[in-house]
Structures are given as structure tokens and as C-alpha cells.
């Protein structure tokens, strides 16, 4: 399943910065969107903050943050849902719900193999979030 590229025009991004300084983040609609410069360079507009907030919200839950870490640090940057349930005192449906939230936010890709679903961390999404929040460049 290919994801389309959605590029926000300068009226939406607030013309905050030259395109080369803007970050590409996953979009909840599937695909990617050019968002904004790192926080330490230019203040976010309301629209940009509304675009970034769902990604951060998805990671703000301790279970989802741990799941993201387990998947990203797994062999090959992926993990089967069957291997993740043992790390938590939660039911498999609850773990699957949290993985679904991370997937819908654009932080994980998933692939069904037989009866199991394998999740893979989207390294580009994590790198973009890291750059967005990264240390001040001033």
C-alpha cells in the first residue's frame, strides 16, 4: 500500500521558513506533510501545532512509548505483536489497540504475516520528530 505525499502550501505553513529547513512528518491521513522548522528556529503556527500534536500525543502514553522503543530496537527494527505482549501486564487486545494508535499516527508501519501482525518503526518519522524537538541551534 503506497502512501501519497501531501505538501502543505506556504499559506498553511505560515511561510515560516525556506522549504529546505522544513521537516517532513507523517500525516494522520496517511502519507507525509511538510510541516515546519525545528522549534528552536521558528515558532509554530496554530496549524503546524495541530499537525504535530497527534504524533506527540500518540507517544505521550507510557505504554505506547515503551512499545515504540521495543519495536524500534527490535531485530530489524520490527516486532511481532505476539512478542510484545510478554513485556506488559496487559491483554493482547490492549497491546494491539496501542499499536494501532501508533500506526494511525504514522509512527509504525504494519504487515500481516499469516495470523500475526508485524510492526516496523518508521525511522523517518522518529528522525523528523527528533529534529523538531532537538537541541537549540542558537
Tens digits of residue pLDDT in 66-125: 999 999 999 988 999 988 999 999 999 999 999 999 999 999 999 999 999 999 999 888
Distance CA 62, CA 68 (A): 10
For 8, half-sphere exposure in the C-beta direction (CA atoms, 13 angstrom radius) is 24
What pLDDT sits at residue 11? Answer: 38
Read off the pLDDT band of 129 (50, 70, 90): confident
Residue 129 or 84, more confident: 84
Residue 134, pLDDT score: 74
Q: What is the pLDDT, as a whole number, of residue 9?
A: 35
Provide the residue ranges of all domains of the chain, joining segments of one domain with +.
Answer: 59-121
Using the CB atoms, write b or e for 64-85: b if 16+ within 10 Å. Answer: beebbebbbebeeebbebeebb
Give Rg (Cα) of the chain: 16
Task: Give the tens place of pLDDT for each residue, 11-66.
Answer: 344 444 444 345 555 655 455 544 666 777 778 888 888 888 888 999 999 999 99
Residue 112 — φ and ψ, nearest 5°? Answer: -85, 130
Residue 12 has a pLDDT of: 40
Which pLDDT value is given to residue 120? Answer: 96
CATH architecture label of 59-121? Orthogonal Bundle (1.10)
Amino acid at each position: 500500500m503506497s502512501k501519497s505525499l501531501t505538501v502543505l502550501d506556504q499559506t498553511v505553513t505560515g511561510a515560516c521558513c525556506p522549504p529546505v529547513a522544513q521537516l517532513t512528518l507523517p500525516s494522520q491521513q496517511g502519507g507525509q506533510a511538510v510541516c515546519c522548522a525545528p522549534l528552536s528556529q521558528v515558532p509554530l503556527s496554530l496549524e503546524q501545532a495541530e499537525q504535530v500534536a497527534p504524533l506527540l500525543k500518540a507517544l505521550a502514553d507510557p505504554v505506547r512509548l515503551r512499545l515504540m522503543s521495543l519495536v524500534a530496537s527490535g531485530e530489524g527494527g520490527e516486532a511481532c505483536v505476539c512478542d510484545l505482549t510478554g513485556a506488559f501486564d496487559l491483554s493482547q487486545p490492549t497491546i494491539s489497540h496501542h499499536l494501532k494508535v501508533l500506526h494511525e499516527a504514522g509512527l509504525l508501519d504494519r504487515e500481516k504475516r499469516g495470523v500475526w501482525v508485524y510492526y516496523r518503526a518508521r525511522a523517518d518519522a522518529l528522525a523528523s520528530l527528533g529534529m523538531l524537538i532537538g537541541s537549540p541551534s542558537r
